[in-house]
A and B are shown apart, each in its own frame.
Chain A
């Protein structure tokens, strides 16, 4: 089906191609630098570089740095080295048969496709020869996904909101995290002198307490894990909530954040971006399905079985921002929360509807969730969130 990409005769060589490939990966969010390019080249010396499968494994070991990147790597490798996207594209462009729709790469826009109808064999962008960049970018498959996104969160959240939300989030984050232990523990620097240990140590110096041992109350930082519902019914509240999440994230880099609608997406890495606007841009890429239906139960269930198992423990506060309107079985919500709860964490549910006069948690999903919550509070605006501070300190 696919064959190894043919490079033009003017191609400057392996080094430039590897650099091009790494640039291609970098464009898709891999954190790679010059050092990796050098490692990749050295790695290729140790394998049979003519064998595409072996090269794939070697480059994968060098370039991928997480389980997620390992799964995505193959797609990018095919697109760049095996002319994968290119071959399919040429079929689309040349043949006007009904088959062309079936073989077209997903999400590739039309004008790109017709741009390749010249019949030339283009090499993927190798970063070295500037002449090929007009059509042959080799990035078509992955970047095509961008066109599927319907909602741009940049319209939902403005930088000013982010700044305000950050201030609130930071205060809340501090309220949640500042849990000092009640006990004191030996420490190099501390306010209290540890008499017992000082006397014990003084034995070594002939009974003279030459070194004072100290004690302090160790920090027991609490990690926040936030799950934000962005389904249709929550769309109006998405604006303050997302700003709030990014603020929370930037106040404490250990915070973990997820979006859910019909499925669960981890957005922690996107929000960790130092630049607020870029963070929101990356978020827009992830929020495919934004404003659609909601499967709270299924999303929470997925969370409890995957991420929660690794990342939620007794020092975690799970923060759920949702109105509790679920299209699926409400029992699932209760069961999932019970499972998360068993990990020893505390669960806070912030419901925008609770602020309404005469609100009763009658949404069946919400009713099923209530017995498992440590705190059930209203949150419609940033001001509401700020007002939560004293409650959170008591948790």
Chain B
């Protein structure tokens, strides 16, 4: 019954530190065979969950990146038209009959699998990551619902393809539009927040063990302080790791020693002009002083 702790440890083994709420939601979504919907600000590690899960379970990760105008041909399957045309041309020279050609060019050989079809045809359950579902259109969302509830796909020329294994589905959303209630109801839900100080320290330690403890505490404290400032783009976990790498790469042992270097490395944290202006070197130095 403590599977979710085992799962949490498994993820930690892959360098992903999951909050208890997230680990529980993930555990339930696996046990109940339901998709997991993850929401949260950009850069809190939503996509990374799927990656870590696939690595921890030793299965494939199949990723479907959503975008405006994504349609079935890019998400599910498409016929390989060029190959079909070539086959028709070749068949004409060989004198093959029309029905035989037709049967041949609408066989699996000519079918291009896209992520959704690919995911349900794996012999071993893969992790299917549907990234930024909020960017796709509502029509696609409705279609996705159907696939996610039946796990079968109908290709008119071939018939219905049933799932060989039920993939573990992880959906992420940045909340650029409200998702439909139907989709929310089908899914387990977890909201991923920015990690607290302790968790972030553990993440930094897991990802960059070479950073010594005192500097790590300073880096995390500084980034947490920056998140509390009024910024346009709040730095996420990935930015924090970049910052740590930058600081480590420059051989800085203490953030407070050289304000100029600190200001230069902040290019990894602050990505807009307005944010750069909002935290001048003096403010940064003050934040470091408080974080230490």
Query: A residues engaging B (CB < 8 A)?
Result: 31, 33, 35-36, 39, 42-43, 46-48, 53-54, 57-58, 60-62, 64-67, 70, 204, 254, 305, 309-311
Contact A310 B176 (CB under 8 A): yes
Contact B24 A67 (CB under 8 A): no
Given contacts A47-B24, A61-B28, A310-B175, contact A67 B191 (CB under 8 A): yes
Contact A311 B31 (CB under 8 A): no
Within B163-203, which residues are at the interface with A (CB < 8 Å)?
A: 174-177, 181, 184-185, 187-191
Given contacts A48-B1, A311-B177, contact A62 B188 (CB under 8 A): yes
Contacts of A60 in B (CB 8 A): 21, 24-25
Question: Residue of A at shortest CB range from B33?
Answer: A42
A86 to B261, CA, bound (A): 57
Given contacts A61-B189, A310-B175, contact A46 B21 (CB under 8 A): no
A185 to chain B, nearest CB (A): 10
Contact A305 B230 (CB under 8 A): yes
A254 to B20, CA, bound (A): 34
User: Residue B3 at the A interface, CB < 8 A?
Assistant: yes
Within B108-145, which residues are at the interface with A (CB < 8 Å)?
A: none
Contacts of A310 in B (CB 8 A): 174-176
Contact of A64 among B20, B40, B175, B189 (CB under 8 A): B189
A60 to B23, CA, bound (A): 12
Contacts of B85 in A (CB 8 A): 204
User: Residue B46 at the A interface, CB < 8 A?
Assistant: no
Contacts of A31 in B (CB 8 A): 181, 184-185
B236 to chain A, nearest CB (A): 14
Contact B32 A43 (CB under 8 A): yes
Contact A46 B3 (CB under 8 A): yes
A65 to B81, CA, bound (A): 42
A66 to B175, CA, bound (A): 10
B9 to chain A, nearest CB (A): 16
User: Residue B254 at the A interface, CB < 8 A?
Assistant: no
Contact B190 A61 (CB under 8 A): yes
Contacts of B51 in A (CB 8 A): none
Pairs across A and B, CB under 8 Å, 6 listed = A33-B185, A58-B28, A60-B25, A204-B81, A254-B177, A311-B176
Within B1-58, which residues are at the interface with A (CB < 8 Å)?
A: 1-4, 20-21, 24-25, 27-29, 31-32, 34, 39-40
Contact B191 A57 (CB under 8 A): no
A43 to B25, CA, bound (A): 10
Interface centre among B40, B181, B188 (most CB of A within 10 A): B188
The 9 lowest CB-CB distance pairs between A and B, nearest first, are A61-B25, A57-B24, A65-B184, A46-B31, A48-B1, A70-B191, A67-B191, A61-B188, A310-B175
A54 to B2, CA, bound (A): 10
Contacts of B81 in A (CB 8 A): 204
A298 to chain B, nearest CB (A): 12
Contact A43 B189 (CB under 8 A): no
Contact A42 B24 (CB under 8 A): no
Contact of A48 among B2, B29, B174 (CB under 8 A): B2
Contact B24 A58 (CB under 8 A): yes
Given contacts A61-B21, A310-B175, contact A35 B185 (CB under 8 A): yes
Given contacts A42-B32, A46-B32, A311-B177, contact A66 B184 (CB under 8 A): yes
Contacts of A42 in B (CB 8 A): 32
A36 to B184, CA, bound (A): 11
A54 to B4, CA, bound (A): 10
Contacts of B34 in A (CB 8 A): 39
Question: Residue of B at shortest CB range from A65?
Answer: B184
Contacts of A311 in B (CB 8 A): 176-177
Contact A47 B1 (CB under 8 A): yes
Given contacts A65-B189, A305-B230, A310-B174, contact A57 B32 (CB under 8 A): no
A254 to B180, CA, bound (A): 12
Contact B4 A47 (CB under 8 A): yes
A206 to chain B, nearest CB (A): 10
Contacts of A62 in B (CB 8 A): 28, 188
Within B230-247, which residues are at the interface with A (CB < 8 Å)?
A: 230, 232
Contact of B185 among A58, A65, A67 (CB under 8 A): A65
Contact of B39 among A67, A204, A305 (CB under 8 A): A67
Contact A57 B39 (CB under 8 A): no
A268 to B36, CA, bound (A): 25
A204 to B83, CA, bound (A): 12
* Contacts A57-B25, A65-B184, A311-B176 supplied; 5 other A-B pairs, CB < 8 Å: A33-B185, A53-B20, A62-B28, A66-B189, A70-B21
B45 to chain A, nearest CB (A): 16
Contacts of A305 in B (CB 8 A): 230
A121 to chain B, nearest CB (A): 29
